[in-house]
Structure 1
Amino acid sequence: MTEVSLQYISQGNSPQEHIQHIGEVCEAGVRWVQLRLKNEDPATILKTALKCREICDQYGAIMIVNDSVSIAQASQADGVHLGLNDMNPKEARNILGPNFIIGGTANTLQDCIQHKNDGVDYIGLGPFRYTTTKEKLSPILGIEGYRSITSELRVQQIEMPIVAIGGIVEEDIAGIMETGVSGIAVSGMLTNQVQLEERIQNLKDLIMVKS
């Protein structure tokens, strides 16, 4: 699987804004995008996903669709990211085949172990802190939560790329990377921001120093 050190989770007040922001972050250097479009009808999400696919192809970026296996398949995405209440990853694998990237949301050690058993390719572990981008937020993990979970996974000899997510700001990254995660997923930090190229390069540098 392609290296997952910096992911952008799309954000916007409309499908058009999601596409605009995806284009901006890809142009500025992000190479892993998750289309996370909530509260829209399937036809709108698919139309948006097809536009996202065009942008990601233009910049050689990995494209992941949040929640929907059918939209991921129909838009020829590279993968799907499944929440704890979405389709089981094993079922998704049967539908999508061996070459699709399947990610899973986790909040606890048990979630991580279950995802490993279900064959996901990476885990989105969070939230790091309170974030307004997600409804029904799971318990906050913080640095200690990441450290506890990653150390226990090492004890159990479970290897899996883990991406930290949830309200992360630039000042958090060095400390989070020291816990043993593989990368960072961000949304607001890169949405509608100035000097995007410089900001993205800074993030990549912070991540690479610790990884």
Structure 2
Amino acid sequence: MEKLQYISQGKTPDEHLHNIEEVCKAGGKWIQLRLKDIDLATSVNTAIRCKEICDQFGAIMIVNDEVDVAKIARAHGVHLGLQDMNPKDARDMLGDNFIIGGTANNVNDCLKHIEAGVDYIGLGPFRYTTTKKNLSPVLGVKGYEQILDTFQNKNLKVPIVAIGGIVENDINALIQTGISGIAVSGLLTNTKNLEETIKNIKNALSSQEWIH
């Protein structure tokens, strides 16, 4: 699994695709297409175009929430929120070869996802973020430490990806908690030196010893 994941941003589907292509050009290898409040036809069309971009650059493509769209677009996987389809049902629809991730905010969320057979868990938010409505309680470094300690004590091996308002200066502290990767949105969407930023983040993520 890629240690750096990009969650798409944009005011329009075309803007999402532009930002995704720029991240891929700059070395991003894991893209989550996260469209909100648009019709099914537009979702499908955008996802198909996103898959073409990701294929061109050899990137993994994940669709946020919409299992049917992920299947039609032949994405590599789907990421499910706590209020979305049960991962077991998604697995029945998509098959064993699809990547299925799930959002979590606490240990109980994580355990439910593990029982349902997810491949990774997006744990957050790390801090306040404007990209998500109805934000769950902010975890901070201590929250991650407590949850990852529980994972160690229970010998749980499902990868944990930190998410939510993460900036470059947070990465070293997050690595020390035992996470398996980070997912970012604004950090890559809004940077002026995208290639350099991705390179620096990847170097930071690769330079530490990871628990998972």
Whichever residue aligns with residue 127 of structure 1, its letter is P
Instruction: Give matches, 1:86-165, under 5 Å.
Output: 86-165=84-163
State the alpha-carbon separation in 2 of the partners of residues 197 and 166 from structure 1.
Answer: 21
1:184 aligned partner: 182
Residue aligned with 2:6, SS: strand
Q: Deviations over 1:56-93 (max 9, x none)?
A: 00000000000010000000000000000000000000
Structure 1: which 5+ residue stretches go unaligned? none
Q: Deviations over 1:122-175 (max 9, x none)?
A: 000000000000000000000000000001011011111110000000000000
* Residue 4 of structure 1, CA deviation: 2.6
Q: Deviations over 1:174-201 (max 9, x none)?
A: 0001100000000000004212111100
Residue aligned with 1:150, SS: helix
* Residue 111 of structure 1, CA deviation: 0.6
State the alpha-carbon separation in 1 of the partners of residues 88 and 12 from structure 2.
Answer: 32
Q: Deviations over 1:87-125 (max 9, x none)?
A: 000000011000000000000001111111000000000
Instruction: Give matches, 1:1-211, under 5 Å.
Output: 3-210=1-208, 211=210
Answer yes or no: is the 8 Å Cα contact 1:4–1:163 preserved in 2: no
After TM superposition, the runs of 4+ consecutive aligned structure 1 residues lying more than 4 A away are none
State the alpha-carbon separation in 2 of the partners of residues 193 and 157 from structure 1.
Answer: 38
Identical aligned pairs, as a percentage?
60
Residue aligned with 2:79, SS: strand
Answer yes or no: is the 8 Å Cα contact 1:81–1:104 preserved in 2: yes
Whichever residue aligns with residue 146 of structure 1, its letter is Y
Q: How large is the RMSD of aligned CA atoms in angstroms?
A: 0.6
Whichever residue aligns with residue 95 of structure 2, its letter is G
State the alpha-carbon separation in 2 of the partners of residues 64 and 202 from structure 1.
Answer: 23
Residue aligned with 2:162, SS: strand
